[in-house]
Amino acid sequence: EANAVIIPQCSHIPPGRRGCLMETTVSPNKEELVIRPLHSGDIYTSFQFRTLWETDFTRENKVSHYRLFPKSLGQVISKFSVRELHISFTQGYWRTMQWGQPYLPSPPGAELWVWFQDSLTDVDGTWKELTNVLSGIFCASLNFIDSTNTVQPSASFKPLGIGNVTDHQIVCTENLTPWKKLLPCGSKAGLAVLLKSEKLFHSSFHSQAVHIRPVCKDDQCKTTSWELRQTLNVVFDLHNSGQGKNEWSLFKMFSRTLTEACPVASSSKIYIDITDNSQGEQFELSPATPLLSQAVVLGDRRTFSVYDLTQQITFGTICNVLKLPVTYSAHAGDMLRPLLHAERYVAGYGLQTGEIHTLMYNNHPYRSFPVLLLDSVPWYLRLYIHTLTVTSKGKDNKPSYIHYQPSKDRVRPHLLEMLVQLPPNSVTEVTLQFERALLKWTEYTPDPNHGFYVGSSVISSLVPSIVAMDTNNSRERPLFSSFFPSKEESSYFVRVYTEPLLVNLPTPDFSMPYNVICLTCTVVAVGYGSLYNLLTRSFQIEEPSPGLAKRIANIIRKMRGVPPL
Amino acid sequence: MGLLSDPNRRRALISLLTRLNTPICIVCYMAGVAWFMGLAFEPFTLRTYMSENAMGSTMVEERFPAGERALATGREFSAHKKRTGGMPVEWLMKTMQAKGLEVFTQRFSRTLPFPDENKERYMVRGTNVYGILRAPRAPRTEALVLSAPCSPGDNNNQAVGLLLGLAEYFRNQIYWAKDIIFLVNEHDLIGMQAWLEGYHHTNTTGTFCHSRGGSIQAALSLELSSDIITSLDLVLEGLNGQLPNLDLANLFYAFCQKIGVLCTIQGKLQRNDWDSVSGYSHAVQTMMLMVMKQASGRPWGDHGLFLRYHIEAATIKGVNSFRQYKTDATTIGRLLEGMYRKLNNLLERLHQSYFFYLMPSLSHFVSIGYYMPAFGLLAVILLLRALDLWVQLSTPPQRTEDGVTDIEPVRGVLSLLTPLVISHLTGVALYMLPIRFQEMAVEHFPVSETEAVVLTAIAVYTAGLALPHNTHRLLSGEGTEQGWRVLKLVAVLYLAVLLGCTALINFSLGFILALTLVPVAAFVTPHVPKVLSAFILVILSPACTLLFSVFFFQELQEMPISFQDGWLLFLSVISQGILDHSLYGSLVYPLITLLVYPCWLLFWNILFWN
């Protein structure tokens, strides 16, 4: 176990290569914490908890033994024929320009994507039921997810999922508590002790997720087991929280110390990324650890210091005083140039039309690569699909694949998927004009003047890795490793989420419906009616018609030949 | 309406209205003016109150401590500004980065249609620097803006210093829910225009912004040129007379009260003696200043261009006068901190309070429901005159039913068309020619480009008066009685619609125009004494209205000027109006030249009908 090559993160799952975990020994439970000092001076901490469950639904119909796997989720899987389930709650936007790529990308708000078994027939019904169940489990209003904000991508989420939903949802302690309850040790022991909500929500970025998927048990992949992976990514802004300019420790970050390892965990480790700190110029770890580990993460070769919590010696002495005195580098304010980067905004003004701009940056100096852009836009923005333009370097860039599903009012959103080739060192701009719909007055949210959210667009791509890009020969490297460019790591999978948009729709003044109704009725009934009457009729004076007696008298007078009265 | 359905009563009513038309009109005019003057009387106005719940009940604390440091930063800024002879872009970027902001620049260049002599600029090239403070755990959907201009000379250094000081302080707070954009714009409004266009990706004069913070909810622009101040002045009037939501003014007022800063609007302090004559005239002055500024349709601070993008914005100006009571930078910083914290609490855009209002003092306002009757009373005069003309036009045919009526309407319409077309063509010429012919004018006359533009405008305006507007003299030698009546009917209704629409958008402009044009429209006939009436007509023409407004405005600001200076100011106001139109899209110049002036020419035409 100790000698196994450790892949600290498994987020870069290449498409078509499912089951990247191959377990020789059964290790049902693993927990990890990766700490990475970021370029901007912030600290990125990523928790991962993995639980394996060796059950195959395809063979056994009834399952009653869950072991460490949470029963609530296990029942969900079996009842709704779920093949894969990914749910994330995120508060904040990952700042790629300052922080680089995250280990596990997630959009602001809540996202749920599920891959159902082929045997399932009523996907829509199951989906609706599933969202309701999950909103109960995670104390989140996922039940607002319905067909109007759900899409079925044709290509984007192929390797892992099928239904995709983004929704605006504020994450708070209520979501964290049920998430913690799914852990085998709860928050009683192990790394989970550090998860104190007060500190976790005093941060720049907070994202928690649950991933359930089948993984292979052996080399031939004859049998599979279920993997539950719970992740929590937090970026601490040390500048902001004023926790000393130059020093932090586990206690300062989490205001907790590690007391004991989770007894059921087979592995419990803390990794600290020291790649940028090989000489100890930025920070030093105290106490130092002899254990080092190398891994290729997100196309970059990183070095980690490893602290193994299962060993009592390490545990007792080290973790409580783990300190990283960080000094700010002079370039902390500079922007990074991640290879793939995207942003999105609404252009124009006024409440009638607008234009969505999506910018995709390829910062690779000499290689172009294709990206898959997935845009899901609510129906109340009426997209003019004929205005779709894709330009790179001032030239038209024709997407090689476009899948567009128009929206249906109040039923389903627009879905736009495109495969675009990004030329090297360029910005590709996708623009699309839209018109803002006037909603029915009951369809407005309670805070209509806040605006309406449009979920992030998703950009998935295989990006050439930094390792392969490295043409700098001066760096110290074994000769045998550098003659041919490393092939298997030549590209890695990246998913980038853009900002969500806040769009104002034409909003009536709800503060005085009564006045408006009264005024309108008055104008129509009194003003319009009478004016119309006056304008279209001509009025003449008419003698009042004589009474019955007078008429009879007149008849008699007529017969008598006397002029009438 | 039953009154009108009964022919007898209708006849009686109409005869009453026609018989008493002139006295009713005079009464209406008097009543309109009196109503308007009454608006400034405190018992008739409403106290301001916070409508937005998110800003009202939530308590915030102001703790900004670093006023002195901010001023030191301001001094550093001014030193670097002097050294670079303009915007110290490098220094600003470095400073903002050191304070933990994401910093971006935006370059822009703009060539004015003709040199701006007030600000001495023609080809403008500049850079805006803005830093975004990212709110923790916020998805970049909403933003607030705090801007300070990088002005030439020693102006506004303290504003930039305070902006940077606040940026540093804000960076250390955890409670932000909206991104805050700190913007230092060069070349005041031109830079602001370029930045807003770059941010919203509308037709741009500069590069596009590189990073954004989502939709901007509110903005404040800061102008501060001294280390200590005596009062803060709030400027609300924006482009085309647009005003920010009243809640923004309320917020400013509330914090001034809380922190104990003297606050003014239009540079006028509030007074408590509303029942005395001087107190009332003070309120009138304040309100009239607002009316004049709003009517000008130009942005009176850097905030003015935000309003077009539906962003509530205001400018806060530090004033240092000879009063005893002084306020230091720390206090201003605390005031701004409080305002931003409350704006940060907003769930929705500011929309609860009024968008159309006048302010006779900072604590009192007049809403649209109260001031519109003043305009309505003036506008009803036009309708009464139109009714009178209509009755006059419809009665004669009953008298002479012998074929004359058959020919009259056709000739009437034709003779009507000519003056309409000619006066509008004059308007188009007035709109187009000044800028088109500036080069030619500069070649042939010893004037500068700006003078050429203004003088061409005045020349075209005057030439419009001399043009023959009618063809009927060529056709039949004499204009008919009915002809001018039809023309006047059309002109009066035209004016009514024109003023009505203007007043809806920009009440002040509509009201001032109504004040001068309505009497003209009411009294003009071909039968009044020619010379005297022509004189009155010219006096009440739009250009003279502008001239008087210039003097009146100076008088209100307690800076009376001589006729000579007033005339020069008048010329520069015209050139500024044309520049505002071509730079920022102000609509006052086209409105006057293309619609109001032709309409006035119609009345001029009626006077010289025979």
A541 touching B, CB under 8 A? Answer: yes
Question: What is the C-alpha separation between A497 and A341, in angstroms, rounded?
Answer: 9
Same domain, A361 and A221: no
**Cross-chain Cβ contact A203/B136 below 8 Å:** yes
Residue A353, SS3? strand
The parent domain of residue A386 ranges over 340-469+486-503
pLDDT given at position A172: 58
Question: What is the C-alpha separation between B271 and B279, in angstroms, rounded?
Answer: 6
Q: Report yes or no on A110 lying in a domain.
A: yes
Same domain, A62 and A144: yes
Locate the chain B residue with the closest alpha carbon to A446.
B348
- Per-residue pLDDT tens digits for B346-356: 888 998 889 99
Residue with tokens 């030949």: A561
- Counted residue by residue, chain A has a size of 565
A105 touching B, CB under 8 A? Answer: no
Residue B18, SS3? helix
Residues of A in contact with B5 (CB under 8 A): 530, 533-534, 539
Locate the chain A residue with the closest alpha carbon to B203.
A348
Sign, CA dihedral A137-A138-A139-A141, equals negative
Question: What is the C-alpha separation between B299 and A348, in angstroms, rounded?
Answer: 20
DSSP state at residue A220 = T
Using CB atoms, pick whichever of A357, A531, A533 lies closest to residue B201: A357
| pLDDT, greater one: B291 or B213 | B291
Question: What is the C-alpha separation between B48 and B367, in angstroms, rounded?
Answer: 10
Question: What is the C-alpha separation between A347 and A432, in angstroms, rounded?
Answer: 10
Query: B53-362: CATH homologous superfamily?
Result: Zn peptidases (3.40.630.10)
Per-residue pLDDT of chain A (565 residues; tens, 9 = 90+): 222 222 222 222 333 333 333 333 445 788 888 888 887 778 899 999 988 887 766 555 666 677 778 888 888 888 888 888 888 888 889 988 888 888 888 888 888 888 888 777 887 888 888 888 988 888 887 777 777 777 777 766 654 444 444 444 555 557 888 888 888 888 888 888 888 888 888 888 999 999 988 887 777 777 778 888 999 999 987 765 544 455 667 777 888 777 777 888 888 888 888 877 666 666 667 667 777 788 777 777 788 888 887 776 655 555 555 565 555 554 555 667 788 889 999 998 888 899 999 999 998 888 888 999 988 899 999 999 999 999 998 889 899 999 999 999 988 889 899 999 999 989 999 999 999 998 887 888 888 888 888 888 889 888 887 665 555 555 555 556 555 555 445 778 888 899 889 999 998 877 677 777 888 888 888 888 888 888 888 777 777 777 888 888 888 888 888 887 7
**Cross-chain Cβ contact A501/B134 below 8 Å:** no
- Per-residue pLDDT tens digits for B136-156: 888 889 999 999 999 888 888
Question: What is the C-alpha separation between B159 and B336, in angstroms, rounded?
Answer: 12
Q: Report yes or no on A24 lying in a domain.
A: no
Same domain, A304 and A346: no
Residues of B in contact with A91 (CB under 8 A): 137, 139
- CA torsion A468→A469→A470→A473, rounded to 10°? 90
Using CB atoms, pick whichever of A332, A347, A539 lies closest to residue B200: A347
Question: What is the C-alpha separation between A241 and A199, in angstroms, rounded?
Answer: 10
Using CB atoms, pick whichever of B136, B140, B308 lies closest to residue A204: B136
- Count CB atoms within 10 A of the CB of residue A408: 12
Count CA atoms within 13 Å of residue B469 on its CB side.
Answer: 30
- Burial bucket for residue B159 (CB in 10 Å: 0-12, 13-18, 19+): buried
Q: Where exactly does CATH 3.40.630.10 map onto chain B?
A: 53-362
Question: What is the C-alpha separation between A243 and A228, in angstroms, rounded?
Answer: 34
pLDDT given at position B11: 83
Instruction: Spell out the residues 6+ positions from residue B584 whose beta carbon is closer than 8 angstroms to its own.
Output: B189, B193, B239, B298, B299, B305
Locate the chain B residue with the closest alpha carbon to A350.
B309
Q: Is the pLDDT of residue B428 over 60?
A: yes
Residues of A in contact with B141 (CB under 8 A): 451, 453, 499-502
Using CB atoms, pick whichever of A206, A501, A511 lies closest to residue B141: A501
Question: What is the C-alpha separation between A342 and A456, in angstroms, rounded?
Answer: 11
**Cross-chain Cβ contact A448/B347 below 8 Å:** no
User: A302 pairs with which residues across the strands?
Assistant: A295
Within A298-339, strands assigned E span 300-308, 323-324
Q: In the structure, what pLDDT confidence band is assigned to residue B128 with cuts at 50, 70 and 90?
A: very high
Using CB atoms, pick whichever of B103, B138, B215 lies closest to residue A451: B215
**Cross-chain Cβ contact B140/A93 below 8 Å:** yes
Residues of A in contact with B200 (CB under 8 A): 347-349
**Cross-chain Cβ contact B139/A539 below 8 Å:** no
Average of per-residue pLDDT values in chain B? 88
Q: Report yes or no on A475 lying in a domain.
A: no
Residue A36, SS3? strand
Q: Report yes or no on A541 lying in a domain.
A: no
pLDDT given at position B413: 67
For A73-114, what is the HEC assignment? HHHHHHHCCEEEEEEEEEECCCCHHHHCCCCCCCCCEEEEEE
A169 touching B, CB under 8 A? Answer: no
What does residue A115 show for φ and ψ, rounded to 5 degrees? -115, 115
Q: Write out the H or E segment, with its range, that includes residue B374.
A: helix B368-394
Same domain, A324 and A359: no
Q: pTM score, two decimals?
A: 0.88
A352 touching B, CB under 8 A? Answer: no
State what percent of residues in chain B have pLDDT above 90. 55
Question: What is the C-alpha separation between B223 and B211, in angstroms, rounded?
Answer: 25
| pLDDT, greater one: B328 or A12 | B328
Instruction: Spell out the residues 6+ positions from residue A418 whose beta carbon is closer than 8 angstroms to its own.
Output: A372, A373, A390, A399, A401, A402, A403, A430
Same domain, A303 and A358: no
Q: Write out the H or E segment, with its range, that includes residue B248.
A: helix B246-259
Instruction: Spell out the residues 6+ positions from residue B110 whose beta carbon is closer than 8 angstroms to its own.
Output: B123, B124, B125, B190, B194, B205, B583
- Per-residue pLDDT tens digits for B276-321: 899 999 999 999 999 999 999 999 999 999 999 999 999 999 998 8
Pull the structure tokens for residue B531: 């010379």
Pull the structure tokens for residue B393: 């036009």
**Cross-chain Cβ contact B136/A357 below 8 Å:** no
Residues of B with CB under 8 A from a CB of A: 1, 4-8, 10, 96-98, 100-103, 134, 136-142, 171-174, 200-202, 211-212, 214-215, 308-310, 347-349, 351-352
Q: Which residues in chain A (415-474) have CB-CB distances under 8 A to chain B?
A: 447-451, 453
Among the listed residues A280, A196, A182, A287, the one whose alpha carbon sits nearest the alpha carbon of residue A236: A196
- Alpha carbon of A307: minimum distance to chain B alpha carbons (Å): 30
- Count CB atoms within 10 A of the CB of residue B608: 16
What's the helix, strand, coil split of chain B in %, to 5?
A: 60, 15, 25
pLDDT given at position A15: 32
- Alpha carbon of A302: minimum distance to chain B alpha carbons (Å): 27
pLDDT given at position A314: 58
Residues of B in contact with A242 (CB under 8 A): 172
- Per-residue pLDDT tens digits for B233-265: 999 999 999 999 999 999 999 999 999 999 999
Q: What is the CA radius of gyration of chain A?
A: 33
pLDDT given at position B55: 83
Question: What is the C-alpha separation between B415 and B488, in angstroms, rounded?
Answer: 12
Using CB atoms, pick whichever of A202, A206, A502 lies closest to residue B215: A502
Sign, CA dihedral A218-A220-A224-A229, equals positive
Q: In the structure, what pLDDT confidence band is assigned to residue B440 with cuts at 50, 70 and 90?
A: confident
Locate the chain B residue with the closest alpha carbon to A334.
B97
**Cross-chain Cβ contact B137/A500 below 8 Å:** no
**Cross-chain Cβ contact B201/A531 below 8 Å:** no
Mean pLDDT of the B422-451 span: 86
| CATH number, domain with residue A441 | 2.60.40.740
CA distances for A376 relative to A422, A532, B581, angstroms: 21, 49, 40
Same domain, A150 and A33: yes
Same domain, A306 and A373: no
Mean pLDDT of the B421-440 span: 88
pLDDT given at position A62: 64
- Count CB atoms within 10 A of the CB of residue B418: 18
Mean pLDDT of the B389-401 span: 68
A355 touching B, CB under 8 A? Answer: yes
Residues of A in contact with B100 (CB under 8 A): 239, 333
pLDDT given at position B436: 84
**Cross-chain Cβ contact B348/A449 below 8 Å:** yes
Residue of B140, B308, B309 to mutate when probing chain A, most A C-beta within 10 A: B140
A287 cis-preceded (ω within 30 degrees of 0):
yes
Q: Are A226 and A214 in contact (CB under 8 A)?
A: yes
Residue of A199, A201, A349, A512 to mutate when probing chain B, most B C-beta within 10 A: A349
**Cross-chain Cβ contact B349/A349 below 8 Å:** no
Residues of A in contact with B201 (CB under 8 A): 345, 347-348, 355, 357
Using CB atoms, pick whichever of B8, B136, B212 lies closest to residue A92: B136
Residue of B137, B142, B347, B350 to mutate when probing chain A, most A C-beta within 10 A: B137
Locate the chain B residue with the closest alpha carbon to A536.
B5
Q: Which residues in chain A (178-197) have CB-CB distances under 8 A to chain B?
A: none
- Per-residue pLDDT tens digits for B60-98: 888 899 889 999 999 999 999 999 888 899 999 999 988
Helices (H), A273-375: 312-317
Q: Which residues in chain A (474-533) have CB-CB distances under 8 A to chain B?
A: 499-504, 507, 511, 526, 530-531, 533
Using CB atoms, pick whichever of B97, B139, B212 lies closest to residue A92: B139
Instruction: Spell out the residues 6+ positions from residue B127 whose beta carbon is closer than 8 angstroms to its own.
Output: B87, B89, B105, B106, B107, B108, B186
Q: Are B106 and B206 in contact (CB under 8 A)?
A: yes
Same domain, A148 and A285: yes
Q: Report yes or no on A537 lying in a domain.
A: no
Same domain, A228 and A377: no
User: B47 pairs with which residues across the strands?
Assistant: B364
Locate the chain A residue with the closest alpha carbon to B6.
A539
Residues of B in contact with A348 (CB under 8 A): 200-202
Same domain, A244 and A364: no
Sign, CA dihedral B605-B606-B608-B609, equals positive
Locate the chain B residue with the closest alpha carbon to A238.
B172
CA A142 to chain centre: 13
Same domain, A179 and A109: yes
User: B222 pairs with which residues across the strands?
Assistant: B316
Residues of A in contact with B97 (CB under 8 A): 332-334
How many domains, chain A? 2
Same domain, A227 and A361: no
